[in-house]
Structure 1
């Protein structure tokens, strides 16, 4: 009798599939089996790419003579520590009574790669293969994934992209790390002191390191510039507010070289002179030249993808992106949330149609209950499919991270931090079913002696979705009184001015990246875009993927190229990192270019979509590696680099402290 084999990426996932199949499963060594089914698992990667010396022993010794290293056929090998499980899985894949293989590894490029490597090394032939693609580990979703499983061949382009990604990282890592180490390794080690160190570079991590180093140097080179604003204290019906002077058209200072900006002088004496001029012309009062009143609606933010959630958790809980990923992966495996490694921030139309199931399940979560009553009363969930929170075109592999409404019995067994992250996900999810927050805004233009002062007020009139997201209510009572008072004013009204004063300000340096803001900058190809809606409009693969960005940062910390302040999550370079930056900048500068690095990732997306072939991509890759490797070999720039090292070292106490 023939059987079906289900192969998952991890034992815990295999366990959920075994439960969903609802047959009496007998425990075996490395798998479980019933009358109709066999369920087994990988333990992450079982197969890896071989080191160069496995091609030829001559490659074990690092030498310019053996570079660039570009094998015609790549070699792979079983990872020794998991060889036993590989033998078990490989044996099951080739067992005669297995006629259909259901591939249940994580639904993404890396999950596809994990299975395809095992299949390749096991030499699987003449088997029907189906791909299970799921968005959560609930029983309902697992059974749907099995029921709707497509032929594995439909994912061949995704598999090609996965193999290419690994080859790209392998070829760039080996060739560039070896050539730079051979060329500059002694110089770096001698300068830092201590044990000899190889120079480690990579397609993504070197670019990320470069972003941090450049930002640090911008901060160092920044010179604060003071400027001086002129403010008027204006009185209305017993309350007062400030108006800010600006040198707009009609001002005696319009386009004046004395200005730092439209609203400030370079020198304090010029600001004081303006005040003296206006104080000479009594009475001290201004005319309301213009008043604008309008309501402003602020919509709930889009749902979380992994990058947004990592940024939020870094801000709220001061945890690293890697910690956030571990927590949300745990929530996923406990059936509490949907698949976490996603770039999408919207729902699919299919999910939107059945979103009431998620909401009903959350009735068992006490925190959500009052909000769910509001949602049920408004019936807003029935309209979610027609809002900006549902968009099939913005989804590639998976929709946004949302609570499943299931697995709540597992919540109390999780850490307090995991429970907090779950709460954040639930609140963001519930918020999209609430109306916008409504603000009342008022803008005033007040004229005095041909000069104009501007005031803006914003009052929250209806909290809308802010009720769900635990916003910190501002003290807006004073503004509320003012807005109420202003509503009675008319153009031409004369307003008493109590006083003028000068307020000193100064320009600010760029902010250092935090672990969370770096993840967002990576997602947006090096651009730290803080505006939530603007980020949503920018499409592109960015630097790395949602599945790899946290790991890349973690590696940069572990090799001590970057340092992380765990309390603040602020990232800074080490001296060693700055020196490697200088080395790369003087040799393979394009590795530091975020746009170019993102273009490689975009190319992989084109392969996955079938728009370009693997051969086209490999030709471009091999040309890039060959050109830059040969260029480095011919460089003679060690002396100028020493001066770069000296400049960087001046900002650190001693080089040796950086390498401990």
Structure 2
């Protein structure tokens, strides 16, 4: 009897065939050895059928046929891949095959791809085992096969996968049809189009909402000018910069002209402060005293490892590439056996991987750029206690651990961008085996008369992990690092009562700034955190719960929104803005099914799917909630009579686009 291995893509099947020593002479859609057959899907082979396959009457869009909520869902083979499906189907049902090893991608979507094929092929009386791997190295493939569990172990994950597809299908079909039927004439007339189809979805509409809301915050933002007074002090031939700050004895304490506690709303008051301080300074030989010098050490630990969202955000900032391009490149690195599985939400390692992490480090000894760091870690043995750190945590891992280098592949074939991203992943990985960076912070107060100036200085005294990351110029890593030892000694020597000379005073003009627009990377992070753009690395790592979409789908959702012209992407800067069409769709949804714009609600659907995966709720419970949500929203929209009131809203929005409609 034979064992059949089925992978998601031909390239992955080739790696399994190599690990299993199956001859690579390809037949029509499969490889066969003495006891082993290897075949593959080509991504999805099966899709959900459109409503007209249930009944011809659904082909014509009509309010009378909505909501569309079938009790049994229909599926069909995708056009263009029928030949491969037929091949796979015959192999799955071959009499000499007794065991099927499911080797599709290790995640919810990979599970769904195989289960659909199994269902459509009508497979019966076979043992099915699920292979779950984190990288495509021969060693990991062999381990995955050896440890393969019966496919029933993943039944809850499969249930969540089917529900996710049904959810996107029911919301997409029902809401797109009902909003198009109700409002497309308004939209088309306003935009001077022949027709307008309004595409709506559980995740995509929420993302449009995030971008539009941010754009409106920026539009409505009123800039506030302010004026700060800066001082330059001289000590031992070196200069220290200070900034004026109000205090209880100051002549400006509680003044209505203050902007916060360190500036003025009008320039004239900043000028008057300078004149006042100059007058005091000239009376005492321009001498001023140190009131206090608070010293504090700051410890900065290496950042957590990359998950897909973090990598997409970093590559968007650093290389100005889109999330789908980042995913494509990391997927290529995965298929070249250079990194672990990319579609992961985890930023930590599993305890099992931590026990053998020296293998990954040894692999990087062959990477000339980083070999010194890898050898240093191995020689000092700093990897031995990694399991006791925050970088290893089994409870924070669902399907896969963080993206790390396997280090065993061929780097010679890498293009420039592939190499840069591989280096980025390697440096982030090696950094966790290095000590923290230590900074010395100084908060110095200077007094002149009743006025106070403040200096906050930060200098790096131990670089630690920054040596690994330094070529990457991580934000804030080099604060104060350019300070020379003489300067550090001079700052350190200042005590209460120390005298300095006031060299000069100046005014710094500034103004408040609006919120930043989303970039293609920062929106991925905001989606991961249920609509919150959390910039702080440590805080992000503490946020629990499901986000909007998944690591596997977020990039494709963005790509679709650009393709249907709801959002626009500046490829040079990776900044995202809404289009007039996108903002009009936002208004249509806002006045009809506004819940779709709520990131927290959208994230709660994803959390529900996680609960199904974990066995906390049943598929029936989830499906009941879903059908109720779709059904009630459709009935509500049918009863609305607000089409014409939207025209004034569209007119107002269009002014923001300078009359350019589209």
Question: What interval of TM-score do these two structures reach, taking the shorter chain for normalisation?
Answer: over 0.9
Q: Equivalent of 1:574, from 574, 579, 595?
A: 579
The change in CA–CA distance for 1:503 and 1:630 in structure 2 (over 3 A counts) is same
1:212 aligns with 2:211: yes
The change in CA–CA distance for 1:97 and 1:381 in structure 2 (over 3 A counts) is same
The 8 Å contact of residues 436 and 465 in structure 2, kept in 1 or not, is answered as: yes
How many residues matched? 654
Alignment of 1:278-297 (within 5 A): 278-281=277-280, 282-283=283-284, 284-297=286-299
* Residue-by-residue CA offset, 1:156-182 (whole Å, 9 max, x unaligned): 000010001001100110111011101
* Residue-by-residue CA offset, 1:267-313 (whole Å, 9 max, x unaligned): 22222333333333332433322111233221111111001111111
Q: Which residue of 2 aligns with 1:371?
A: 373
Q: Which residue of 1 aligns with 2:437?
A: 437
Q: Which residue of 2 aligns with 1:538?
A: 543
Distance in 1 between the 2:194 and 2:121 partners? 41
Q: Secondary structure at the match of 2:453?
A: strand
The change in CA–CA distance for 1:449 and 1:474 in structure 2 (over 3 A counts) is closer
Q: Which residue of 2 aligns with 1:341?
A: 343
The change in CA–CA distance for 1:211 and 1:354 in structure 2 (over 3 A counts) is same
Shift of 1:648: 1.6
Q: Which residue of 2 aligns with 1:634?
A: 639
TM-score (norm 2): 0.96
Q: Which residue of 1 aligns with 2:135?
A: 136
The change in CA–CA distance for 1:547 and 1:491 in structure 2 (over 3 A counts) is same
Q: Secondary structure at the match of 2:26?
A: strand
Q: Which residue of 1 aligns with 2:467?
A: 467
Distance in 2 between the 1:529 and 1:480 partners? 36
Q: Which residue of 1 aligns with 2:562?
A: 557
The 8 Å contact of residues 192 and 655 in structure 1, kept in 2 or not, is answered as: no
Distance in 2 between the 1:655 and 1:287 partners? 61
1:400 aligns with 2:402: yes
Shift of 1:502: 2.2
The 8 Å contact of residues 459 and 479 in structure 1, kept in 2 or not, is answered as: no
Q: Which moved more, 1:159-168 or 1:92-101?
A: 92-101
Q: Which residue of 1 aligns with 2:90?
A: 91
Shift of 1:32: 1.1
Shift of 1:25: 5.8
Distance in 2 between the 1:568 and 1:487 partners? 42
Q: Secondary structure at the match of 1:102?
A: strand
Q: Secondary structure at the match of 2:384?
A: helix
* Residue-by-residue CA offset, 1:123-147 (whole Å, 9 max, x unaligned): 1111111110000000000010000
Q: Which residue of 2 aligns with 1:589?
A: 594
Q: Which residue of 2 aligns with 1:28?
A: 27
Shift of 1:72: 0.8
Shift of 1:478: 4.5
Distance in 2 between the 1:357 and 1:392 partners? 20
Shift of 1:361: 1.5
Q: Secondary structure at the match of 2:452?
A: strand
The 8 Å contact of residues 459 and 480 in structure 2, kept in 1 or not, is answered as: no
Q: Which residue of 2 aligns with 1:319?
A: 321
Q: Which moved more, 1:454-463 or 1:496-505?
A: 496-505
Shift of 1:463: 2.0
The 8 Å contact of residues 459 and 480 in structure 1, kept in 2 or not, is answered as: no
Alignment of 1:68-147 (within 5 A): 68-147=67-146
Q: Secondary structure at the match of 2:493?
A: coil
RMSD in angstroms over aligned alpha carbons?
A: 1.6
Q: Which moved more, 1:368-377 or 1:417-426?
A: 368-377
Q: Secondary structure at the match of 2:412?
A: helix
* Residue-by-residue CA offset, 1:16-57 (whole Å, 9 max, x unaligned): 111111244653211111111111111100110010111111
Unaligned runs of 5+ in 1: none
Unaligned runs of 5+ in 2: none
TM-score (norm 1): 0.96
Distance in 2 between the 1:464 and 1:341 partners? 30
Shift of 1:599: 0.8
The change in CA–CA distance for 1:96 and 1:255 in structure 2 (over 3 A counts) is farther
